[in-house]
Structure 1
Amino acid sequence: MSDTSTNSTNLEPYEIAAGVKSERFYHGFAKRPFDLFLAALMLPILVPVIALLYVAVRLEGGPGFFGHHRVGRNGQVFRCWKIRTMVPDAKERLEHLLANDPQARAEWESDRKLRNDPRVTRLGAFLRKSSLDELPQIWNVLKGEMSLIGPRPVTAPELERYGGHKWIYQSMRPGITGLWQVSGRNEVSYDERVQLDANYFRELSLVSDVRILLQTVGAVLNRTGC
């Protein structure tokens, strides 16, 4: 895991004003143009890939895309898009599993995820491991609901787990990738994830975003973290 996750971060809202001016400028004014510039460069490559993945998932039966409501900047709720990786009746299967498997229920209540999730299809497992299922979120970036780099979008119940750091999450656009994803995502507890998001906010700058983007490429190629 990244050493950043071990740092103690107890930021308060007034500390925003104490940041370096260049970093505040990037967060407030330059980060959005940076997102749009990179998104425009990637679209010619991403659109054909997304189309192929959509067709492949459709051939398995069910919809190709999955949209779920997440909390974004300033608490605004938006529909976050992914390539569908689960069976069409995933909600019903989860309810049945949690009602009949105490171990799975405890795992879900702890991290809101299952290590061996029976709802995930064979193709979906590959898409998740490679993070290709996240590619449709480029649409969320273009709409201004997300950023390329930032904390991963969470549901309203998950946001409550941020506690005193909730304001930090809501001050940023959620990201397709971020510090959590390149810091051993599946090996990090939820509390550590919150700490990583707080650390990202504290160190937010163009340099840190470029560094995370480069680390993301390595994580995707090695299928680690992302």
Structure 2
Amino acid sequence: MLLPLILAIAVLIKWDSPGPVLFRQNRIGLGNRPFRVWKFRTMTCCENGAVVRQAQRDDPRVTRLGRILRRTSLDELPQLVNVLLGSMSLVGPRPHAVAHDAQFAGSVARYAERHAVRPGITGWAQVRGCRGETPNAASMQRRVDLDLAYIEHWSLALDLLILVLTLREVFRSQAAY
């Protein structure tokens, strides 16, 4: 059902800016095992090294189409492949770039406990306002606290609620950039 939308987005990305259609980045998943996350490319760069600069509001690296894809979360659609491959689930703590894991693991309490479950395309932290840039340890701590609350209170009903709230968030939020 999503194939026509995915193909249309791929064509638009190629038309909008030079570079690959898909962005692949290393992330840490369940049991601290690395995996490669798939997303539509929304920036002029494809950082995947020891230093990864987070997107910021009005970031000049974000393409014109990328702004729309990020705001609507359509850039996340290729992560359905990650779900099918078993490296991600629909709901769970959002995986961060490996560089960000290294940056925050020592300064954010219980950070590594997020890897006790499969990461998700969406999560409790995202629907509770922790979407977008995490410029400091305090903002990451809030996200991690919500991730851990999700893990501790997991249920199918909670997952279904998060999926519904995600749809609401996509249609009303301007937090992603």
Please classify the TM superposition score into its range, dividing by the shorter chain length: 0.7 to 0.9
1:165-184 equivalences under 5 Å are: 165-184=110-129
**Shift of residue 186, structure 1, vs aligned partner:** 3.7
Larger radius of gyration: 1
CA distance in 2, matches of 1:183, 1:166: 18
- The correspondence for 1:74, drawn from 18, 21, 31, is 31
2:86 to 144, 151, 167: 144
**Which amino acid is the alignment partner of residue 57 of structure 1?**
I
Give the corresponding residue for 1:211. Answer: 161
Partner of 2:19: 62
Aligned residue identity for 2:117: M
Cross-structure match for 1:118? 60
**C-alpha separation between the residues in 2 aligned to 1:130 and 1:206?**
25
Shift of 1:115: 2.3
Deviation at residue 52 of structure 1 after TM alignment? 0.8
Q: Is the contact made by 1:150 and 1:175 (CA closer than 8 Å) also made in structure 2? A: yes
| CA-CA distance at 1:207 after TM superposition | 0.9
5+ residue gaps in structure 1? 1-43, 96-107
Whichever residue aligns with residue 9 of structure 2, its letter is L
Per-residue CA distance 1:129-184 (angstroms, 9 max, x = gap): 00000000000000000000001111233224244424421111110011111112
Counterpart pick for 1:84 among 15, 38, 41: 41
Displaced runs of 4 or more, over 6 A: none
CA distance in 2 between partners of 1:56 and 1:178 (Å):
28
State the SS of the aligned residue for 1:176.
strand
For the residues of structure 1 that align with 2:98 and 2:133, how far apart are their CA atoms?
23
In 1: Cα distance, 2:10 partner to 2:95 partner: 22
TM-score, normalising length from structure 1? Answer: 0.66
Structure 2: which 5+ runs fail to align? none
- Which one has the bigger helix percentage? 1
In structure 1, what is the Cα distance between the partners aligned to 2:123 and 2:174?
A: 13
1:34 aligned partner: none
Q: Deviations over 1:90-119 (max 9, x none)?
A: 65xxx9xxxxxxxxxxxx6xxx44222110
Find the partner of 1:130 among 72, 83, 87.
72
Select 1:200's aligned residue among 125, 150, 160. 150
- Aligned residue pair count: 164
Please state how far the C-alpha of 1:194 moved relative to its aligned partner. 0.9
Percent identical pairs in the alignment equals 42
Q: How far apart are the structure 1 equivalents of 2:97 and 2:132? A: 18
